[in-house]
Structure 1
Amino acid sequence: MAIQIGATPDSGFDDPICMLIDCHRRIERFLHILWVVSHHASGRALTGEETAAVQSALNYFRVGGQRHTADEEESLFPRLRAESAAERFEELGGLESDHRHANDLHESVDKFYSAWIANGELTPENEMRLRSATEQLKHLYEEHIQVEEKIVFPRAAEILDSRTIATIGREFHARQQ
């Protein structure tokens, strides 16, 4: 099975919304890798290519996923709350809850994959747990991304002026340094 391992370079976007959307695409790509491996490597040790792909995905979630959450919760969401009517952004509470749930699922997926890589095998029970956690994480992100990209980001673009977006962009870039 050929698995593409994507590098995670700086997206180079000045617009923080584009940066977040770029992060979403990477999350989707890495989740797909984790899903494929968990469903096609059943009952055997991972190949070198699979191990490299899984490690790349897990590393992205450890760093990129945490940075994405911080970018939204420390910069974007507070500004949206401050600059808009609260009822227009009731989705933000759910998105923050998604971030916490996703972090818990990342830890589970990371734990099971790390054990699989270290031991060369995974017990049938832990394999089922890994698949379940991967499925839940994939489903959570699909819904989360849909809400952000179809509801929150367009509203953010309407509400935030270019000066505020530039400030958020500088904060995002500073955090990536």
Structure 2
Amino acid sequence: MTDFFASPAASFDEPVALLMACHERVRHYAGLVKKLSAHVREHGADEQAKSAAAAILRYFDVAAPLHHQDEDDDLFPLLSQRGDAALRERIAAITAEHAELGALWQQVRVCLVAIAEGRAAELSQELADTFARRYPAHAGVEDDQIYPMAEKLLTATELTELGRRMAARRGAVVSG
């Protein structure tokens, strides 16, 4: 079975790269929501739809909340302490979006659970499109406007500690 959470290019030793790799998976699974909506309209909750829904559920129920914790509990507070007013405002706005995206996810999740269970369900194209647009846009702001500041403002020791905290949150052990 493929481990959808493994990333050969990033590790806890490079926490910012790992966060960015997570965003690649966000883009993948958010795009899959959009494709699944069209698929279900045409084919119903067939085996392919059930498998896709289960994979999306696994990612957004398990990995995405951990990712948000990495940001909200560890990275963003450090950056807010070190950054200027503009960075603090961007961080506050992006943190507020986590709650909005969580609510949007819950709407999508209801449909995906039904599909994963093989029950007839509709995943509206409008809802799927909104999800497929908003989550990647959010990730893009973090990638372009916030994460680069970690490399500039945080020390190597702080980045190492960030990686350790991220690993511990997932029950992993890091070297060093």
Q: TM-score range by the shorter chain?
A: 0.7 to 0.9
Q: Distance in 2 between matches of 1:33 and 1:39?
A: 10
Q: Distance in 1 between matches of 2:126 and 2:46?
A: 22
Q: How does 1:3-18 map to 2 (within 5 A)?
A: 7-11=3-7, 13=11, 14-18=13-17
- Identity of paired residues, percent? 23
Partner of 1:166: 160
Partner of 1:33: 32
- The question of whether the paired residues in 1 share the 8 Å contact of 2:44 and 2:120 is answered with yes
**More off after superposition, 78-87 vs 112-121:** 112-121
**More off after superposition, 84-93 vs 64-73:** 84-93
Q: Distance in 1 between matches of 2:146 and 2:116?
A: 38
Structure 1: tracts of 5 or more residues without a match? none
**More off after superposition, 79-88 vs 158-167:** 79-88
Q: Distance in 2 between matches of 1:139 and 1:113?
A: 17
Q: Distance in 1 between matches of 2:145 and 2:161?
A: 22
Shift of 1:141: 1.5
Structure 2: tracts of 5 or more residues without a match? 172-176
Q: How does 1:94-113 map to 2 (within 5 A)?
A: 94-113=93-112
Partner of 1:157: 151
Q: Distance in 2 between matches of 1:101 and 1:117?
A: 24
Q: Distance in 1 between matches of 2:136 and 2:5?
A: 23
**Structure 1's 169 and 117: CA in aligned 2 closer, same or farther, altered over 3 A?**
closer
2:132 to 135, 138, 142: 138
Partner of 2:19: 20
**More off after superposition, 153-162 vs 70-79:** 153-162
Q: Distance in 1 between matches of 2:102 and 2:56?
A: 14
Alignment length (residue pairs) = 168
Q: Distance in 2 between matches of 1:6 and 1:148?
A: 27
SS in 2 for 1:138: helix
1:138-175 CA-to-partner distances (Å, cap 9, x unmatched) read 21122211211111111121111111111111110110
Q: How does 1:42-57 map to 2 (within 5 A)?
A: 42=41, 44-57=43-56
TM-score (norm 2): 0.86
**More off after superposition, 78-87 vs 6-15:** 6-15
Shift of 1:19: 0.9
- The question of whether the paired residues in 2 share the 8 Å contact of 1:30 and 1:57 is answered with yes
Partner of 2:174: none
What RMSD, in angstroms, separates the aligned Cα atoms of the two structures? Answer: 1.9
Shift of 1:44: 4.2
- The question of whether the paired residues in 2 share the 8 Å contact of 1:77 and 1:92 is answered with yes
Q: Distance in 2 between matches of 1:58 and 1:117?
A: 9
